Amino acid sequence: MKPMYRNSALALLIGTSIACGSAYAADAYSWNNVAPVKTPTASNNNGKTVYFDVSHGGVEGNADWVIDGAFSDFADALVQEGYTVKEYRGVDLNNDGRIRFFDDRVNGANQNEAIITYNAIKDADVFVLAETNRPFTLSEQAALEQFVAAGKGIFFVADHYDADRNLNTWDATEVFNGYNRSDLSKYNMGGAYGDWRNPKSANAGWLVENFGIRFRFNGVDYKQGVSGVVASNKTEGITQGVQPILMAAGATLAVVDPQKAKGLVYFSESDTPVKWRHAKDQGLYFGGAAEGPYAAIAKSGAGKAAFIGDSSPIEDATPKYRRQDNANTKKTYPGWTDSGNAAVLAVNIINWLATPESYQYFDGTNGRVSGVATPTPMAVQEYTDPNNGQPWGTPASGFNAWDTDTYKNNSFNAPYGDGQTNPDPDPDPTPTPGNTVSVEQALAASQGTELVVIGKVTAAVNGIYGLDLTDLNNPSSHIYVKLESAQRSDFNPQLNPSILNQNIIVTGKRNSYMGEPGLRYVSDIQIAPTALSVEQALATAQGESIELTGRVKSALNNIYALVLEDSNNPSFTINVKLEKSQRSAFSPQLNPSILDAQLLIKGVRDSYMSAPGVRQVNSIEVLDGSGSTQPDPNGDLSVSDVLAMNNGQAVVVAGVITSAINGKYALVLSDDNNGSDTLYIKLESSQRGAFSPQLNPSVVGKRLRVEGIKNDYMSHAGVRNVSKLTLLD
């Protein structure tokens, strides 16, 4: 049976104590019912208060906004400025000392206490909304409007489009704009919420109608730092002392009404931002200032607002709560101390927001410089939803973002903390997507355990109904996977022979199948991600689990680490911290023969020795030498040979150039004996002049040797990270 608090949230109280309730408290909802407060010294108190909102998903799932947790650096800086800082959780409607989240959107019950009302926030001078993941009701939007009309300030901190932290189909860009990217009928919610379908107009939506600005639905990376900082005499002094600010997968904004809103920081002409690798569409629409400001402010009537498109340059690396769907410990980007931090900008913004001023707009009077309208404030890509109204990822089995009974212990809004017992006698275990296990580890797991397993498909099992999954490092270890009906056409080797020898990731329950160790009740199967180059790894956000390939350049920190360089561009390097068991084989100081070896490394993107790095290394594999995937030196691989290989393997392949593909950026290589077998070869910029058939038609029909990594390109089998091209005739 379920706990008695069905569809209710953690008992939370806005109090004056920083301390968290005991993790071993006897009653459900009591382990974390005290919201933190931070206060300045009496001599430093400026008499102003900042509320940080967590009532609408600020610490949901993967998000990390909690002021005594991941954002303590920001809160501490404001206390040093003289502010009192409080965490806002909602309104205690029934006066029981606890604030509970009820799913009012589904149930229609007037019981939800995780809400925003004007009376509850009116004592604050600034209200900070960070990565809000649950939509506002019409009355909540009205409360925020009333707050601004009273001369107060709101700081909207968003992130990239589809940063759906709690897997409920909403991200902060959508919640702040006042509409979902999708125009599906389900987003015309009616009732307390109204119509949240995409209006497909830059001039429509709650944010733009009140503040003259909207968040874009893009996803951009530029960790070098967005450098187009507008002069402080045009930004009310807010940009004084501000340096370029990193963007680790973020969004920009579009200024629609330049008398209400204006940008603070833009991409400069010399900046070279790129699409975030997980972006759902092009990610980067226009580039430069035309992409819109990264940070901005608005003045609409008596009050003020400020905006930034990424939380990374503000947050720190000390999250307090665990993920709600799987109880994983969270890790955040230590942006507050990063070289591209927004610490100065963030504090300057709060100081400006907390200072009432009588002027109404940026209309050019009294020296108030107006903004610059963004040329295309709503791109065509933003009219459509590439997710088709689906959540960012597939929710784990048994997890429901709207039902707090399904939240894992020690996650925000969970019924219980660590050390407490869930009375459900038959808890539904959920997978841990961030912690993929090997087949060998799956074999050792208890029956009924939900697992996420990576392995190689080696055979069909029971005709079309299953498959045999083999351990990547020990082919003698294997497990049978029972396929659901919808999975058979793609993943059963009898129905789809091309899946043989592919690496896949299977989410299911440890069980037996066909009298052998197995996985059943499979909820998800994915093709395993291919390895990144060092250059790509450098663009990956800290805390992400990655696989990367590169060449060993040197030892680092004596025996404890190595430097891995990009196989195609040695100017890109990353530091790899070796675990104790890995040093004898992979430390160049202990084993000089490993120098120049090509490695496949699985670990977590982090920093090491004050530089970009990889830590928590799970495995290292040599891709050349004894573990080589290179061909026999007496002959090149054929195109057909390479088509049968796994992605991520180094290859030397020869074939005939038949045409250009994707303009000047790639070519089609055909098999010498079977012209229907083709590979797409992605050309590096230095290779295009000589080898692109579009730029040099004379290469068509000639035989070409390609050295690179097998990987898909434009959804077709291909070779990328090309290190060498040689014409053979």
CA distances from 423 to 286, 396, 432, 612, 650 (A): 54, 21, 22, 45, 52
Residue matched to tokens 């057909």: 640
- Please, how many CA atoms are within 13 Å of residue 246, restricted to the half-sphere of its CB? 23
317, 332 contact by CB (below 8 A): yes
For position 436, what pLDDT does the model report?
Answer: 66
455, 476 contact by CB (below 8 A): no
CA distances from 552 to 524, 585, 596, 618, 709 (A): 36, 12, 5, 17, 17
Fold of the domain built from segment(s) 534-626: OB fold (Dihydrolipoamide Acetyltransferase, E2P) (2.40.50)
At 213, list the tokens.
Answer: 């600005």
Q: Are strands 478-482 and 516-527 parallel, antiparallel or unpaired?
A: parallel
For position 105, what pLDDT does the model report?
Answer: 58
279-310 pLDDT, tens digit per residue, is: 989 999 999 999 999 999 999 899 999 999 99
CA distances from 641 to 94, 631, 646, 655, 674 (A): 70, 10, 11, 11, 11
Was domain 439-527 assigned CATH 2.120.10.90?
A: no
- Percent of the residues in the chain that have a pLDDT greater than 70, as a whole number: 89
Superfamily for the 13-383 domain: Class I glutamine amidotransferase (GATase) domain (3.40.50.880)
Q: What is the pTM of this model?
A: 0.59
For position 473, what pLDDT does the model report?
Answer: 63
Residue matched to tokens 């100065």: 344
Report the interhelical angle of 72-80 vs 343-353 (nearest 10°): 60
For position 20, what pLDDT does the model report?
Answer: 30
Instruction: Give SS3 for 46.
Output: coil
Q: Which CATH architecture has domain 629-727?
A: Beta Barrel (2.40)
For position 135, what pLDDT does the model report?
Answer: 95
What DSSP letter does each residue of 459-484 carry, written as one string?
A: EEETTTTEEEEE-SS-TT-EEEEEPP
For position 419, what pLDDT does the model report?
Answer: 61
Residues in the chain: 729
608-625 pLDDT, tens digit per residue, is: 988 899 999 988 877 643
For position 536, what pLDDT does the model report?
Answer: 79
At 420, list the tokens.
Answer: 């407490």
The reply to whether 13-383 and 534-626 are identical in fold is no
- CA end-to-end span of the chain: 74
The parts of the chain modelled with pLDDT lower than 70 are: 1-29, 60-65, 103-110, 419-436, 473, 529-530, 623-635, 729
For position 16, what pLDDT does the model report?
Answer: 26
- Please, how many CA atoms are within 13 Å of residue 59, restricted to the half-sphere of its CB? 30
564-621 pLDDT, tens digit per residue, is: 998 878 888 999 999 888 888 889 988 888 888 888 898 988 889 888 999 999 888 7
The domain limits of the chain are: 13-383, 439-527, 534-626, 629-727
- Tell me which residue of 165, 436, 541, 445 sits closest to 325, measured CA to CA: 165
